[in-house]
Amino acid sequence: MSLRLRLNLILLACFGVGLLGSAAYYRYETLRLTSEALEYEARLHMQTAMAVREFVIEQVKPRIDASGDDAFLPAAVPAFAARETLALLYRNYPGYRYREIALNPINPVDLAAGRERALVERFRDGSLRGEQVMTEDTPQGRLVHVVRPVTISDTACLRCHGDPARAPAALRRLYPGSGGYGWRLGETVGAQIVSVPDEAQMRRADAAFGHFVVALAGVFGLLFLALNVLLSRIVLLPLSDANRALDQLADTDALTGLHNRRALDRRLQQALDAAARGQQPLAVIAFDLDHFKQVNDRFGHEAGDAVLREVGAAVRRRLRQPDTLARLGGEEFLVLLPQTDAAGAALVAEGLRLQVRCTVAEPAGPVSASFGVAQWDGREGPQALLARADAALYRAKHAGRDRVEVAAAGPSTSSGSGDDAPTCGG
């Protein structure tokens, strides 16, 4: 797995966690704020109902009462006025509802039953006090209820709900039953209930949440791209350059600038694999400077180093681009020749021998080298091939130096002699 891929996976994991965490927090806050908004809306509607009741009590009812004992107008009843006003308001808002219930109402429609009756009883026994906010899950969705107890605090209410004999005749004719009378001052007789559905608010919350997630994913995507660009320019490219430089240093002989043994081993294995796939010949040339110890002893190691550098540069100039020249250590070198057989490698070695003879490194002067050539037999490993080239090299040493020996399946062949007189020209 590449470094870029690992870093990108880490970034994606971090962004994924960040996106999920942000989305979860935003969702939590959205639901909390939606719940608060629903509660606020329900309380506002309750205050609307209370304002209607207050207006009726203060502005309408006194005028009706002043008309005489028999006067009665339903619109002057605070509960009726509040219910009808909010019913008009809710015509275009499905699910919204306002109602007033009582344990003993004049109008049987307002009779508390079931859960609502139990709710009024809890207000009466004191287990619930003041305005309450409640939620209910229904098949149509979730409802938020605001509930207020209805407690008789004005003696004017007893004109209609006290002694039935004192109630307006018009009221008794409209509601001939016996309900709604006998209320007492300070008694909790019922409750006001505002119900607000959460559908519209949740729809807006879901839309806002969806927009937030899309926007956040877009921001994270742009940030991911920006970080990738910065990662490439600030980290990966310099790191890649540094790694290439380190690889080059690790594969380079510090003295001559040629490939070292580490690089040669890798390139030799690659060349063997390529030769096996393409069924192409492959040869190596091992060569060693003659009497190099005498150069160091006579002229010093600095002069010896200069000879190694000059010989390496001279040999490299005579090789092809696919060929590999490496310093194995000391004064020993090796040349890797792809797509070359033993005969061709012997010709190359002879040219290199002459090139070395023409190399002059002051103050040591000209030097010579012995060469061993081996062609891969198609089966042997890299170490066996190098061993055969080394054996040919040592035969050249023992045969008088400054010559080329070829390792072959049959008798060894040789070329060149220390008596050769090469022409060293431009």
The domain spans of the chain are: 3-205, 261-415
| Lowest mean per-residue pLDDT among 121-135, 245-259, 283-297 | 245-259
Residue-wise burial string across 203-227, b where 16 or more C-beta atoms lie within 10 A, e elsewhere: eebeeebeeeeeebeeebeeeeeeb
pLDDT for residue 410: 39
In CATH, the architecture of 261-415 is: 2-Layer Sandwich (3.30)
> Which residues on neighbouring strands pair with residue 333, listed in sequence order?
287, 327
Is the pLDDT score of 334 beyond 90?
Answer: yes
How high is the pLDDT of residue 413? 45
Least confident of 30-44, 63-77, 342-356: 63-77
Would you say residue 167 has pLDDT above 50?
yes
Confidence category of residue 297, pLDDT binned at 50, 70, 90 = very high
CB-neighbour burial class of residue 335 (10 A; exposed 0-12, middle 13-18, buried 19+): buried
Mean pLDDT, the chain, integer: 88
Per-residue pLDDT tens for 339-382?
999 999 999 999 999 999 998 888 888 899 999 999 999 999 99
Return the percentage of the chain with pLDDT > 70, whole number: 92
| Cα separation, 409 vs 403, whole angstroms | 20
Sheet-wide strand order for 332-338: 324-329, 332-338, 282-289, 369-375, 404-407, 413-415
Cα(307)–Cα(288) distance, rounded to whole angstroms?
Answer: 12
Cα–Cα distances (Å) from 406 to 281, 319, 411, in that order, read 15, 19, 9
CA-nearest of 104, 109, 102, 116 to 145 is 116
- Does the predicted TM-score (pTM) go above 0.85? no
pLDDT of residue 364: 82
How confident is the model at residue 4, as a pLDDT? 76
Which of 74-83, 165-174, 208-217, 280-289 is least confident?
Answer: 165-174
Angle between helix axes 78-89 and 3-55 (nearest 10 degrees) is 140
**pLDDT at 383 exceeding the cut of 60:** yes
Residue 392 has pLDDT above 50, yes or no: yes
Q: Report the range out of 7-11, 122-126, 175-179 with the highest average pLDDT.
A: 122-126
Task: Give the relative orientation of helices 301-317 and 342-357 as an angle to the nearest 10 degrees.
Answer: 130
The pLDDT value recorded for residue 68 is 61
pLDDT at 380: 94
Lowest-confidence region among 35-39, 82-86, 233-237, 314-318: 233-237
* Arithmetic mean of pLDDT, 179-201: 92
Q: Tell me, what's the pLDDT at 411?
A: 39
Q: Indicate whether 417 pLDDT > 70.
A: no
Higher pLDDT, 82 or 178: 82
Distance CA 317, CA 16 (A): 57
Reported confidence tier of residue 71, pLDDT bands at 50, 70, 90 = low
pLDDT at 29 over 80: yes
